[in-house]
Amino acid sequence: MCGILATTGGSSGTEAALLALGKRGPDDHGVMRFEGATLAQTRLAIVDLSPGGHQPMRDNAHDVAITFNGEIYNYKELRQELEAKGHLFSSQSDTEVILKAYAEYGEECPKHLDGMFAFALWDNTKKQLFLARDRFGKKPLYYAYTKDGALVAASEIKALRAMGVRPVLDPAGLDLYLTLMYLPPWRSVYKNIFTILPAHCATFKDGTLSTARYWALEKKPLTLSYTEAKEELRRLLTNAVQKRMIADVEIGSLLSGGVDSTLVTAYAQKCMDRPIKTFALGYGDYINELPFAEAASKKIDTDHHTLQATSDIVEELEKVIEYFDEPHGDSADFPQHMVSELAASKVKVALAGDGGDELFLGYGNYFAYWNRPKLVRLKNALFSNPYREHIKSITVFPARLRRKLLKDAPVGKEAADSLVPPMPNGLDKINMFDITTYLPGQLLAKVDQTSMMHGLEIRCPLLDHHLAEFAYNLPTEYKTDRTTGKLILKDLLREIMPNDFVDRKKQGFGAPVRKWFAEPHMRAYVEKQFAPGAPIFGVVHESAARAHITKTLAGTAPKSYYQLWVLLCLAVWMQKHKDDYDL
């Protein structure tokens, strides 16, 4: 993993930008300047630890250079393919494979890459900057324009600021944050900072940026028996895990004790000649999955490391929020940061189970519609639909509350599901929202930020795109029976763990928000963050915010505790970053 920077303007600010990206890549850094561009990188060395893996990297034969963040899992196979076409290599790095793939396939090269990546490639012959991001958006890539029209792209917004870009808060972005508790992947919280979408690439030439999509999940229904599907899934998961075990450093695994992380860890252990290091976190008596993680560790025979979240809540929360360049209200940011810190103390790479719920219909929202009372279903059939009800159920602050809270936001003007293609308003559309919006905007953003702040690389085998294409096209009944999800994944896990482990009720990774708000020191912290003159009151009506806080802490509106958490995260974020943006 790395922090990357590219600009078609002057190189002023490059050193400051590298400092801003330092946590993403503590092992090395480099800068490469051309007449029309500058590339830079901070490196977390994972593959080819020799000087041959240093970046930015240049291919002198084709006069192109790259700064690259991520891992290419098929780089050895792709290298052989390119060597057969006459390309010569001087390192063992996957970075050089991307350079040669661009020389061979041009702007089609991302289609040939199997991995997680964000990169910027300068073509010195064509005088153009080529940008690309992986299929699911595991690795971030932001960009902005300078006053003189140059483009600046980087892994994090803080690096764009260091290059002279002054962010301007966007009321519409704040509206989306209060709707979803995160920023969807097609935009940032700023008017003048943008994102390269997952599965997209872009070319900046002569002052114009053109973008293109190079991959999408498509419905191509599979006709195979359940037994055949299970065997193929086993093969695909085995391959996905094996590919992600390639590194020149030690690899561990985040083991919560849930279906996905346990299955990934068990398959990873098969690739090891010693116990794999595993990591888990618990909350004491509240959502404590440590006993399940311990049970999985003993069965799989891992070298298990655990942590109880007994640290100062406020201190740890502020660490996370200060690092994030945008507001993010998931209470799981806090534990994800702590378990990443624990893992980073032992390894540089860890596997995780992200993607299982989205690809194998693990969330309760997927089958909730079928289990509602008949009268409710009839009412929804006449006046609503399952998809609309899903969007309503995941909305944190409904439009009426956002209108009361926000000062200038055009509430509801921008749809929260802009990436979902036209399709029937049923299960498939709900699933597509989670894959294209929730997964990259919330989950993967959280995982990237909380791991990179500790110099830890996270790899997600269940998001292997070959496995994802297969899972997406499995018959629905192989994934859910309308009362529970991930059926076929659970059947694989039954070969390893007992039924009572596999079939227990799903638990999330969120923090005990309601319990925390009952504690005096947390209530005092809320009062401090919403004191008169707090930065949040530049965008939120003070009277409306105070009324909501009072109602929540009085216990008269129990469902509003998470709303208060999302609002609190925004208040802390605006306080920590008050000098980083303009209104």
What's the rounded mean pLDDT across residues 353-360? 96
- Sorted by sequence, the CB contacts under 8 Å of residue 268 that are 6+ apart come out as 241, 244, 245, 251, 253, 276, 351
Whole-prediction pTM = 0.95
Quote the pLDDT of residue 33: 95
Do residues 201 and 132 touch, judged by C-beta distance below 8 A? yes
Asked if residue 376 has pLDDT above 80, the reply is no
Instruction: Single out the residue of 297, 291, 341, 289 nearest to residue 315, CA to CA.
Output: 341
Q: How would you write 526-573 as a 3-class SS string?
A: HHHHCCCCCHHHHCECHHHHHHHHHHHHCCCCHHHHHHHHHHHHHHHH
Predicted confidence (pLDDT) per residue in 98-139, tens digit:
999 999 999 999 999 999 999 999 999 999 999 999 999 999
CB atoms within 10 A of CB 509: 22
Q: What is the mean pLDDT of residues 326-352?
A: 94
Three-class secondary structure of residue 125 per DSSP: coil
Largest pairwise CA distance in the chain: 72
Kindly give the interhelix angle for 313-323 and 561-576, rounded to the nearest 10 degrees: 60
> How far is CA 194 from each of CA 11, 53, 152, 159, 160, rounded to the nearest angstrom?
20, 29, 10, 13, 11
Q: In 321-381, at which residue ranges do the beta strands (DSSP E only) sit?
A: 349-351
**What integer pLDDT is reported at residue 42 of this predicted model?**
93
Whole-angstrom distance, CA of residue 270 vs CA of residue 242: 9
Q: Using an 8 Å Cβ cutoff, are 131 and 153 in contact?
A: yes
For residue 162, pLDDT beyond 70: yes
Q: Is the model's pLDDT at 44 over the cut of 90?
A: no
**pLDDT value at 276 more than 60:** yes
Within 10 angstroms of residue 555's Cβ, the number of other Cβ atoms is 12
The answer to whether 377 and 503 are in contact (CB under 8 A) is: no
**What confidence tier does 415 reach under pLDDT thresholds 50, 70, 90?**
low
**H-type alpha helices, 170-312:** 171-180, 226-243, 259-269, 290-300
* CATH class of the 226-363+426-502 domain in this structure: alpha beta
- Per-domain residue ranges for the chain? 2-171+183-213, 226-363+426-502, 513-576
pLDDT at 564: 95
Q: How would residue 386 be classed by pLDDT, with cut points 50, 70 and 90?
A: confident
pLDDT at 88: 94
CATH architecture of 2-171+183-213: 4-Layer Sandwich (3.60)
Residue that the structure tokens 């890549």 belong to = 25
Q: Assess whether pLDDT exceeds 70 at residue 280.
A: yes
Local confidence band at 422 (pLDDT 50, 70, 90 cut-offs): confident
Predicted confidence (pLDDT) per residue in 298-332, tens digit: 999 999 999 987 657 788 889 999 999 999 999 88
pLDDT at res. 247: 86
Position 510 scores a pLDDT of: 67
**In the structure, what pLDDT confidence band is assigned to residue 515 with cuts at 50, 70 and 90?**
confident
Residue-level pLDDT at 541: 96
pLDDT at 72: 96
